[in-house]
Structure 1
Amino acid sequence: MTASRTDLLAWLNELLQINYTKVEQCGSGGAYCQILDSIYGDVPMNRVKMNAKHEYEYIANFKVMQNLFKAKKIDKPIPVEKLVKCKMQDNLEFLQWMKRFWDANYGGHVYDPVARRKGAPMEPPATVAPISSSGSTRAALSAGGGLRSGGRTPVGGRAGSAQPEAVQQLQAQVKELSTHLEGLEKERDFYFEKLRDIEILVQQQMEVLEGEGKEDATLKDIQKILYSTEEGFEVPETVAPADEEETF
């Protein structure tokens, strides 16, 4: 019988001594890695970032997990691209599979999750909350008397009591989104540097081959991929100097 979200979270929190509140938080990959460690006891937990906050850190955790699957000959595909997006349904399905796998393979031995993490910080990963639309924000503020109507100021302390809470919620969302944006920028730079290193390596190798009067089809294909543009994208035309513009 398939376990519910509530049952899965209760099992996960008890097993790993963590405090996840949403299945989506498993998308960081850390909890999945430690579930496997509770079975085998040989996951390199020093390489697992349990409090990962950015997608590139999530991917690094899943790399550890993929290596373990390969070593243990576990033939279950890991949908990394879906899981790291921290969507509920994808992580729920995978966590359900993990629970069945754990039930079938856990030997009943004593497992100390905190010791295996060596006391590393265990702040639950954050999932980005959707931005409130202007309509819902207006409704939330209006319900608490936070909006003026007809230029009148609400009378009494109770009318404006909900406004600070709504503002705090919005500020918290802005802070979380700013953190997420920072992570995306780091991830962008991380992959850009890798592509740049590949580009330089390919170019150097092609120059060497060219000097020897040779060429390599694979290197040309790689270079073609690196320099290709998305369909429908056009490189902006160079703006002509002002003195070349036609006058009337």
Structure 2
Amino acid sequence: MTASRTDLISWLNELLQINYTKVEQCGSGGAYCQILDSIYGDLPMNRVKMNARHEYEYVANYKVMQNVFKAKKIDKPIPVEKLVKCKMQDNLEFLQWMKRFWDANYGGQWYDAVARRKGAPAEPPATIAPLPSSKPALSAGGARSGGRTPVGGYRTGSAQPNEAVQQLQGQVKELSSHLEGLEKERDFYFEKLRDIEILVQQQIEVLEGEGKDDHTLREIQKILYSTEEGFEVPDAGAPVDEEETF
């Protein structure tokens, strides 16, 4: 029988001593990794980021998980690209599978989840709340309900402007953090591509020195240097507009 979302969250929180409220929060990958650790007890939890906030951190968690699946010969594809989007249905289906796998393989031994992650925080991923509406409420007749309202949209002495400002400030802070994470993710993948580019170039130069060539390496290099339609690589000798910034 398939477990419900409520049952799954209750089981997950009890097993891992965390405080998740939604199945979507499993998308960071940390909880999935620790479920496996509760079964086998040898997962490298020092490499699992339980308080991951950004997609590149989620991917790193799934890399650890994929290594465990391979080592334990677990024949189950991990849909990483779907799970990291933190969508309910994808994570619900995978968590249901994880629960069935746990039921079939957990030996009943005592598991100290907090100690295994060395007390690392396991707060669920944050979500961005919708912006509050700035329009005053209208009654069915089209007039503002509750009497006359000043031009600013709130009555004198109301706490609503303060609360709205605080909400907006909180969202600005969270969006700034999200932007910082995207920049780190961009740099993370750029460095990987740069390492590949250097490795390919070095190998091509070695082969050229021996009078040889490698079609696969040339194709990889072609992919690395390809550009989107309409995008032009700037001429290295062209003057740069000092006022233009990126």
Q: TM-score, normalised by structure 2?
A: 0.83
- When the two chains are superposed, the root-mean-square deviation of aligned CA atoms in Å is 2.5
Between the aligned partners of 1:35 and 1:195, the Cα distance in structure 2 is 32
Secondary structure class of the residue paired with 1:138: coil
Secondary structure class of the residue paired with 2:134: helix
Greater alpha carbon shift after TM alignment, 98-107 vs 10-19: 98-107
Give CA deviations for 1:136-188 in whole Å, capped at 9, x if unaligned.
6224xx25x9xx9673775443xx22332233222222222211111111011
Output aligned runs, 1:87-102, within 5 Å: 87-102=87-102
Q: Which residue of 2 aligns with 1:176?
A: 174
Give the 4+ runs in structure 1 shifted more than 3 A.
148-156
Q: Is the 8 A contact 2:28 2:61 kept in 1?
A: yes
Output aligned runs, 1:51-90, within 5 Å: 51-90=51-90
Q: Which residue of 1 aligns with 2:210?
A: 212
Output aligned runs, 1:10-89, within 5 Å: 10-89=10-89
Between the aligned partners of 2:180 and 2:152, the Cα distance in structure 1 is 41
Between the aligned partners of 2:160 and 2:6, the Cα distance in structure 1 is 30
Q: Which residue of 1 aligns with 2:242?
A: none
Give CA deviations for 1:7-56 in whole Å, capped at 9, x if unaligned.
21111111100011221111111100111111111111111111111211
Confirm whether residue 137 of structure 1 aligns to residue 133 of structure 2.
yes
Q: Is the 8 A contact 2:20 2:124 kept in 1?
A: yes
Structure 2: which 5+ runs fail to align?
A: 138-143, 240-246
User: For residue 46 of structure 1, what is the amino acid of its counterpart?
Assistant: N
Q: Which residue of 2 aligns with 1:115?
A: 115
Confirm whether residue 225 of structure 1 aligns to residue 238 of structure 2.
no
User: For residue 211 of structure 2, what is the amino acid of its counterpart?
Assistant: G
Q: Is the 8 A contact 2:154 2:161 kept in 1?
A: no
User: For residue 233 of structure 1, what is the amino acid of its counterpart?
Assistant: G
User: For residue 190 of structure 1, what is the amino acid of its counterpart?
Assistant: F
Q: Which residue of 1 aligns with 2:185?
A: 187
Aligned in 2, Cα 1:162/1:74: closer, same or farther, shift over 3 Å? same
Q: Which residue of 1 aligns with 2:140?
A: none
Structure with the largest fraction of helix: 1
Aligned in 2, Cα 1:233/1:17: closer, same or farther, shift over 3 Å? same
Between the aligned partners of 1:95 and 1:115, the Cα distance in structure 2 is 23
Between the aligned partners of 1:76 and 1:207, the Cα distance in structure 2 is 41
Between the aligned partners of 2:180 and 2:82, the Cα distance in structure 1 is 21
Structure 1: which 5+ runs fail to align?
A: 242-248
Between the aligned partners of 1:237 and 1:149, the Cα distance in structure 2 is 55
Q: TM-score, normalised by structure 1?
A: 0.83
Between the aligned partners of 1:152 and 1:192, the Cα distance in structure 2 is 47
User: For residue 87 of structure 1, what is the amino acid of its counterpart?
Assistant: K
Aligned in 2, Cα 1:63/1:156: closer, same or farther, shift over 3 Å? same
Aligned identity (percent) is: 79
